[in-house]
Structure 1
Amino acid sequence: MALFSPSPARPVALGRELALALIGAALITLGAKIQIPFWPVPMTLHSLAVFFLAAALGPRLGFAAMAAYLAAGAMGLPVFSGSPERGIGLAYMVGPTGGYLAGYLLGAGLGGRLAEGRGAFGRFLAMLAGLTVVYATGLAWLAHFVPTSSLLAAGFLPFILGDLVKLALASGLVGALARFKGRGQ
């Protein structure tokens, strides 16, 4: 008798998880490319996609989707907001928004973990914790490019209102998806 006999279901589950992560990366890319007129700056749906996926798929697959998105960007695919016009690949990733990209990876894992089993308001707070990580890493990295006196005006104030709206929307969408899945069983 073998000590380890792989289950035939494991490769199927692994393939399903890989597919979900890749579909998630595609949704993040789509969110990064969609621009909505907003004040004071146009907004993309990038953070909506990241935190929706983290809460809907869970921390591991949410993290994997964001990692796949970053890997695609590092390979030079124009997945990021403003790419290819503002650059592609690693050159884009080490630019002013690089800290935010790293923060999304960490924030997706944290937000997804904290959102597990929570209601709408709890999910919103979990996503807010993840977004806090995004802003903390993003602003720390942006400080290499922008004077400290201008840091909040450049990397926080123009975006926070839109991000809060997107988190509320993401929390509601996760709840709606859970209700929809519950009816199908």
Structure 2
Amino acid sequence: MTTPHQPSTAFTRSLASSNRAVKVAAVVFGSLLIAASSQIEVPFFPVPMTMQTFAVLLVGLLLGARLGAAAVLVYLAEAAIGLPVLSGGLPMVALFAKPATAGYLVGFIGAAFVAGFVAERTAGRLAGTVVGAVLGEAVLMAFGVAFLATLIGAESAVKYGFLPFILGDLLKIVLAVAVARGIGRLSLPATL
């Protein structure tokens, strides 16, 4: 039986007991998953809908709070050095021309951390995984909408940066929970 401070699933427990190289590889893989998912987008105004939120939540749920947040930070570092990892293949410098997504990008860090933190503390149970994903999404939206409100006003930020995304984000939460539960049952080989 796991205690409230142990990693939550067989996957996260085996990752936690792995060597540093495996943890680094998991963080880099998580960042690449987020980058790849950012290329799957549906145009919306002023913020596109992408699969990034799915990947951010999944990375948090699977890697845990610290490694999940680290994967997001690596993803943002990749964007900062000019790699085309943001939505539409844009580098971070593009945020100066199109800053509406900046708050959501910052929110990714908190979303991965919160999703992982709750999943870790609830021993990977379904309810904890769902609550972790929902709270992670809430953190992401709070940062994103708050920053967007500084650009276009609170009412418009909610109208354009939150309401159109509710259904899609609920579906991404369900998908992230399902994938995390499936992968969570797996363990990394003991030799890693």
TM-score band, normalised by shorter chain: 0.7 to 0.9
Q: 1:107 to 1:172 in 2, by over 3 A?
A: same
Q: 1:81 to 1:91 in 2, by over 3 A?
A: closer
- Asked if 2 retains the 8 angstrom alpha-carbon contact of 1:100 and 1:138, the reply is yes
Distance 1:176 1:158 in 2: 29
SS at match of 2:37: helix
Alignment of 1:11-90 (within 5 A): 13-35=19-41, 43-84=49-90, 88-90=91-93
Distance 1:95 1:135 in 2: 15
2:119 matches 1:115: yes
Aligned to 2:160: 154
Aligned to 1:9: none
SS at match of 1:134: helix
Shift of 1:125: 1.1
Q: 1:179 to 1:17 in 2, by over 3 A?
A: closer
Shift of 1:174: 1.2
Shift of 1:148: 2.5
Aligned to 1:104: 108
Greater length-normalized contact order (CA 8 Å, ≥ 6 residues apart)? 2
Runs of 4+ displaced beyond 6 Å = none
SS at match of 1:77: coil
Correspondent of 2:178 among 167, 172, 185 = 172
Q: Which amino acid aligns with 2:108?
A: Y
State the identity as a percent. Answer: 38
What RMSD over aligned residues (CA atoms) do the two structures have, in Å?
2.5
- Asked if 1 retains the 8 angstrom alpha-carbon contact of 2:119 and 2:132, the reply is yes
TM-score, length-normalised on structure 1?
Answer: 0.81
Q: 1:102 to 1:150 in 2, by over 3 A?
A: same
Q: 1:35 to 1:175 in 2, by over 3 A?
A: same
Distance 1:151 1:44 in 2: 18
Shift of 1:180: 4.1
TM-score, length-normalised on structure 2?
Answer: 0.79
**Structure 1: gaps (5+ residues):** 1-11
